[in-house]
Structure 1
Amino acid sequence: MQKIFAFLFMAVLAIPATAQQAEDANGMFDPQIVFSSDEADLSEFLWIKRPLIVFADTPADPRYIQQMEYISQRLDDLDARDVVVLTDTDPSANSDLRRKFRPRGFMLVLTGKDGTIYLRKPFPWDVREISRTIDKLPTRQQEMRERGGGS
Structure 2
Amino acid sequence: MVKFFATFVLAVSASTAFAQEASESTDIPVPAIIVEGETADLAEYSWDKRPLVVFADSDNDPRFEQQMAYITDGLDELAERDVIVLTDTTPKPLSSLRKELRPRGFMLVLMGKDGSIYLRKPVPWDIREITRAIDKMPLRQQEIRDRREGR
Could you tell me the TM-score, scaled by structure 2's length? 0.90
| Residues 54 and 86 in structure 1, CA contact (< 8 A), matched pair in contact too | yes
Q: Distance in 1 between matches of 2:113 and 2:124?
A: 22
The aligned length equals 146
Q: Secondary structure at the match of 1:93?
A: coil
Q: CA offsets per residue over residues 8-44 of structure 1, 9 Å max, x none?
A: 1221232223223322572545321110013421000
Match of 1:123 in 2: 123
Identical aligned pairs, as a percentage? 53
Q: Which amino acid aligns with 1:69?
A: A
**RMSD, matched Cα:** 1.7
The answer as to whether partners of 2:38 and 2:97 remain within 8 angstroms in 1 is no
4+ residue runs of structure 1 moved beyond 6 angstroms? none
Report matched runs for 1:1-150 at 5 Å: 5-21=1-17, 22=19, 23-24=22-23, 26=26, 28-148=28-148
Q: Deviations over 1:64-87 (max 9, x none)?
A: 111111111110100000000000
Distance verdict in 2 for CA 1:99–1:54, change over 3 Å: same
Give the unaligned 5+ runs of structure 1: none
The one-letter code sitting in structure 1 at the alignment partner of 2:92 is S
Instruction: Give TM-score scaled by structure 1 length.
Output: 0.90
Looking at structure 1, the residues matched to 149 and 60 of structure 2 have their Cα atoms a distance apart, in angstroms, of 40
**SS of equivalent to 2:134:** helix
The amino acid across from 1:14 in the alignment is L
Q: Deviations over 1:78-129 (max 9, x none)?
A: 0000000000000012101101111111100000000110011101100111
Unaligned runs of 5+ in 2: none
